Amino acid sequence: MTILETTRQIIQKHKLDEKLSFNPFKDRGQNYFSNHEKFKDSYEKTTNLQNKYENRVPQEWYGLDCSCWPINWLNALEEFLAELEKDSPCFEIHQIKLKYGMARIHLGNLSAEAWKAVDEFENAMSDENLIY
């Protein structure tokens, strides 16, 4: 199976097309980031991913800043990065973040098909309710 096919399966498995019914940045009074099921353990998951992939972040780059992502996005990201290791063993993580309600994934040293997979994966992780 190709990286693009696997990426499509990851997108479907983690239901990345499901949108939030609230904006956690605007509904801060309800403390959604720490209490809501969609964000439960997001901070811990991000920390684990940062530790796991710190050797892939070249000096002077930012790495992962995704603690405000829904947990299903983070689980999908973990699987996606594991698949990238198989496809492009020397890939680098320059920056992974949230911007304008979308995942922004900046990587380096990828195969041509992996670049297509990154585009598709990134586009699947978009939610107007994550615009702050």
Q: Note whether residue 10 is domain-resident.
A: no
Q: For residue 77, with 0-12 CB atoms within 10 Å meaning exposed, 13-18 middle and 19 or more buried, which class applies? A: buried
Q: Note whether residue 16 is domain-resident.
A: no
Q: Note whether residue 109 is domain-resident.
A: yes
Rounded to 5 degrees, what are φ and ψ at 22? -155, 165
Q: Note whether residue 78 is domain-resident.
A: yes
Q: Note whether residue 11 is domain-resident.
A: no
Give the range of the structural domain holding residue 108, as residue numbers without chain letter. Answer: 31-130
pLDDT at position 16: 96
Q: Global pTM?
A: 0.94
Query: Could you read off the pLDDT of 82-102 as tens digits, one per residue?
Result: 999 999 999 999 999 999 999
Q: Note whether residue 36 is domain-resident.
A: yes
Top pLDDT among 70 and 27 is at 70
Mean pLDDT of the residues in the chain: 93
pLDDT at position 26: 80
Is beta strand 63-65 parallel, antiparallel or unpaired with respect to 102-108? unpaired
Q: Note whether residue 121 is domain-resident.
A: yes
pLDDT at position 19: 93
Helix then strand count (H, E) for the chain reads 5, 3
Query: Could you read off the pLDDT of 11-46 as tens digits, one per residue?
Result: 999 999 999 988 888 876 556 676 778 888 898 999
- For the chain, helix, strand, coil in percent to 5 are 50, 15, 35
Please give the tally of structural domains in the chain. Answer: 1
Instruction: Decide if pLDDT at 73 tops 60.
Output: yes
Rounded to 5 degrees, what are φ and ψ at 98? -105, 130
pLDDT at position 51: 96
Q: Note whether residue 79 is domain-resident.
A: yes
Query: Could you read off the pLDDT of 95-129 as tens digits, one per residue?
Result: 999 999 999 999 999 999 999 999 999 999 999 99
Instruction: Decide if pLDDT at 52 tops 60.
Output: yes
89, 56 in Cβ contact below 8 A?
no
Q: Give the containing element (helix H, strand E) for 123.
A: helix 112-124
